[in-house]
């Protein structure tokens, strides 16, 4: 069972717009802040670091979800193969390599 959901174009556009608006508001606020230049520079560097950290975190979460999805698909394929090969009406014979071995 794979759960593949596609994001709509409107959702992607809204996400991009909200990110752009938020970043613009922060930058305009930092530029118009009535403080010394070094304070603005410090806040600007903090903003750059925060934005890059957000992108890195989003990528890590996406990669982890993709890894779990691949492992889930591999496990599902193994289970489907085992179920396809299983014959509940088959009677094992003593020479059959798939027959259960007796201990001793």
Cα–Cα dist 57/62, whole Å = 9
Residue 102 within a domain:
no
pTM of the full predicted structure? 0.56
What angle do the packed helices 9-31 and 37-85 form, to 10 degrees?
A: 160
In a domain? residue 27? yes
- Rounded CA-CA distance 98/28 in Å is 72
Half-sphere exposure of residue 16, counting CA atoms within 13 Å on the CB side? 7
Cα angle for residues 16, 22, 17 (degrees, 5° grid): 20
pLDDT tens-digit series, residues 23-44: 999 999 999 999 999 999 999 9
d(CA 95, CA 56): 58
Examine residue 104 and state whether it is found in any structural domain, yes or no: no
Residue 99 inside a domain? The answer is no
- pLDDT digits over 80-103, tens only? 888 887 777 777 777 766 555 555
Is 80 a domain residue? Answer: yes
Q: Is residue 21, in this structure, part of any structural domain at all?
A: yes
Domain annotation covers residue 17: yes
Residue 64 included in any domain: yes
Number of domains observed in the structure of the chain:
1
Domain that residue 33 falls in: 9-85
Q: Nearest Cα to 24, choosing from 12, 13, 16?
A: 16
């Amino acid at each position: 069972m794979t759960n593949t959901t596609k994001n709509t174009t409107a959702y992607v556009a809204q996400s991009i717009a909200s990110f752009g608006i938020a970043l613009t508001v922060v930058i305009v606020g930092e530029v118009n802040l009535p403080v010394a230049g070094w304070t603005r520079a410090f806040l600007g560097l903090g903003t750059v670091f925060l934005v890059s950290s957000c992108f890195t975190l989003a990528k890590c979460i996406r990669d982890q979800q993709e890894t779990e999805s691949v492992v889930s698909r591999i496990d599902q394929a193994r289970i489907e193969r085992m179920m396809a090969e299983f014959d509940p009406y088959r009677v094992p014979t003593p020479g059959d390599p798939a027959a259960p071995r007796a201990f001793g």
